[in-house]
Chain A
């Protein structure tokens, strides 16, 4: 597939999974300003959205943001363009997870934590990090 077609196809896939129109975002940065986990991300939420708009598949798939997004919905509440950013984050996560990358591995979780944690913490991790 030529590059332009491949980029278009990638944007379309993200839009299908998220049911969002990525061109709605006008890059004001308000999502990033309020995101409690932006400081842990290698590229902040608005930049990841820019990568998606430009069809920069490799940059989107390398970004750590989808793994630090807690779906707290602060950005979704504040976005002046009505973009549901956590749905975009979930779409990127889904592309990884459906390709069996980044799947939740219980064996890697601290045993003491496993015994102590409330079931809904683990269930949430299962729902976010499996498909």
Chain B
């Protein structure tokens, strides 16, 4: 099987581990990801000003291009996923926008390209994954962190229940590990506030991490490179503010999937994790 694939800017730079482990996981499942030709940044966070729709042009150009390749495109980054899906929704709802924006596009586009998250693909192809599991993840407790953008706004994203989603937990169970549900799994990590108001991001990330640990998580999995940065890189600063805090490794969901599918260690990208998961993985004989 082959699928069109849009990686987004960060999977090529600071989240190479996400990109590589995802590619290798799909490869182990016998699926080839075909990167879109000549893709560019989606513009990140969805523009909310109703009187200026310029920020929609980048996501719509990407989708118009993707449509030429395939009827659906795999998008792993939560921010890209949210922005592309909201752009689609906007075109469907607002005929004025459809007309105005199409004047700016090289090829006409009507909002029909399906934006698919890898977790949705895995949910719909459970047997395929089960057939290829190589390593036993039994016992390792993974906190399932959703953050904001895979869930909200509900009617535009329709990924899962925005207050008590389960797609991550189902995924963790499917690959044989123990999912940890915790109340802060749908709370914000601080997002882009880390740039201008780092204290707010440190506070928000600390609460998420503490809550996951209080519920028994030994590591946390996420689908967003910005959540990953805040939860992982900010731990150094969290420790300064809260001396009782114990470090906890943060994985992309694709890293643990790749481990379960027997992908070679050098393709897991573990060296990009700031809080090293190596000891934890050794403890469970996964390395």
Could you list which residues of chain A lie within 8 angstroms of chain B, going by C-beta atoms? Answer: 16-19, 36-37, 39-40, 67-68, 70-74, 76-77, 84, 86-87, 90-91, 94, 104, 109, 113, 116-129, 131
Range of interface residues on chain B?
35 or more
Q: Which of B30-38, B63-71, B171-179, B194-202 contacts A (4 or more CB under 8 A)?
A: B194-202
With A19-B50, A76-B152, A127-B45 as contacts: A120 and B8 at CB distance below 8 Å: yes
User: With the chains together, A129 CA to B163 CA distance in Å?
Assistant: 29
Could you list which residues of chain B lie within 8 angstroms of chain A, going by C-beta atoms? Answer: 8-10, 13-15, 41, 43-45, 47-52, 55, 77, 79, 148, 152-154, 162-163, 186-188, 190-200, 203-204, 207, 225-226, 228-229, 233
A interface secondary structure, majority: helix
With A68-B193, A117-B229 as contacts: A76 and B187 at CB distance below 8 Å: no
**A118, B191: Cβ atoms closer than 8 Å:** no
With A70-B191, A77-B154 as contacts: A90 and B196 at CB distance below 8 Å: no
Extra contacts, 13 of them, besides A70-B193, A72-B188, A77-B153 (Cβ < 8 A), are A17-B51, A71-B191, A74-B187, A77-B163, A86-B48, A87-B49, A94-B49, A118-B226, A120-B8, A122-B195, A124-B45, A124-B195, A128-B45
Chain A residues lying within 8 Å of B196, measured Cβ to Cβ, are 67, 104, 125, 129
**B226, A121: Cβ atoms closer than 8 Å:** yes
Chain B residues lying within 8 Å of A90, measured Cβ to Cβ, are 47-49
The 9 closest A-B pairs by CB, nearest first: A72-B188, A124-B192, A19-B50, A73-B152, A90-B48, A118-B14, A125-B195, A123-B44, A70-B191
